[in-house]
Amino acid sequence: MDAIPLALDGYLTADPVPGDRDGTVCWRLSCSAGTDHMAEEAIIPCTTMEPEIVHALLTERQPGDLLRVTGHFALPATASGVIQLHVESLEVLWEAPLLDADEDGRDGDTATVTDEAADRNSALAALAEALTSLGHQAAPGPGRSIRIHLGPAETLGAAPEHCHSIDLTPARAHQLADAIDALNCRLDDDRPDGDIVLDPQTIADLTDLFDDIDLIDLTRTVLNATRPEHRPQVARAMDDMFGDVPAPGDTDR
């Protein structure tokens, strides 16, 4: 059977290992393909004999790296044969963060780490489902040419099943950006006043402004502009706002 040319994006699931033949290396990629109803996950075995790729995989790459590989995919000649993608080129799309020895949770509270991981994975699944639904809604314009990769920020290699790739059209990407901008504005509006910090010069300017206000003169001006029958209520309102302000001796009629 003729080899099928193929290009894949996927996460490295474990450390690559030398192949059975000298100068080869084998590894596995976790790939996902979004559909209207689910994210299909597949583990693709890969191999190569390209010296530069062999060296890079054995010395530089680590589980969790997001790779783009191209090569030829061929079915085995027998039913017991091994299916592999024979890779001819490799591109690193994203490098997983290096992990410290004490970041695996063994030195901390295991229950807390487990709860945090569960919350993270639940959030990733919800976000991936929402974005996948958005990407597959009918929309005018060019095809899905924008790809978003979602995955844990840490311990990525240990959780390839929680990594997702979602394709969007440019129109949907603009709508997503607008929705995020609107959310940011609403969050800014909901922020408590205590979070607002004024610079010292602004505070000084406001202090000078209020120090220059003559409350008796202000009261007289407000009462002169108020209908006589409403003056008692207005005076009480100003007392509530500024304290017990002495009433003007005379007001213009």
Produce one character per residue of 202-214: b if its CB has 16 or more CB atoms within 10 Å, e if not. Answer: eeeeeeeeeeeee
Residue 120: what pLDDT? 81
Produce one character per residue of 167-177: b if its CB has 16 or more CB atoms within 10 Å, e if not. Answer: bbbeebbeebe
Domain range annotation of the chain: 4-94, 101-193, 200-242
Tell me the pLDDT tens digit for each residue of 65-113: 889 999 998 777 777 777 889 999 999 988 877 655 444 444 555 566 6
In this prediction, the residues of the chain whose per-residue pLDDT falls under 70 are 1-2, 33-40, 98-114, 135-142, 154-159, 188-198, 242-253
- Phi and psi at 219, nearest 5°, equal -60, -45
Q: What's the pTM value of the predicted model, to 2 decimals? A: 0.45
Cβ atoms of 86 and 74 closer than 8 Å: yes
Q: Tokens 């220059």 — which residue? A: 212
- Tell me the sheet residues that pair with 72: 5, 86
* Nearest-angstrom CA–CA distance, 164 and 10: 9
Cβ atoms of 15 and 159 closer than 8 Å: no
Residue 38: what pLDDT? 42
- Tell me the sheet residues that pair with 56: none
| CATH architecture classification, 4-94 | Beta Barrel (2.40)
* Nearest-angstrom CA–CA distance, 42 and 30: 6
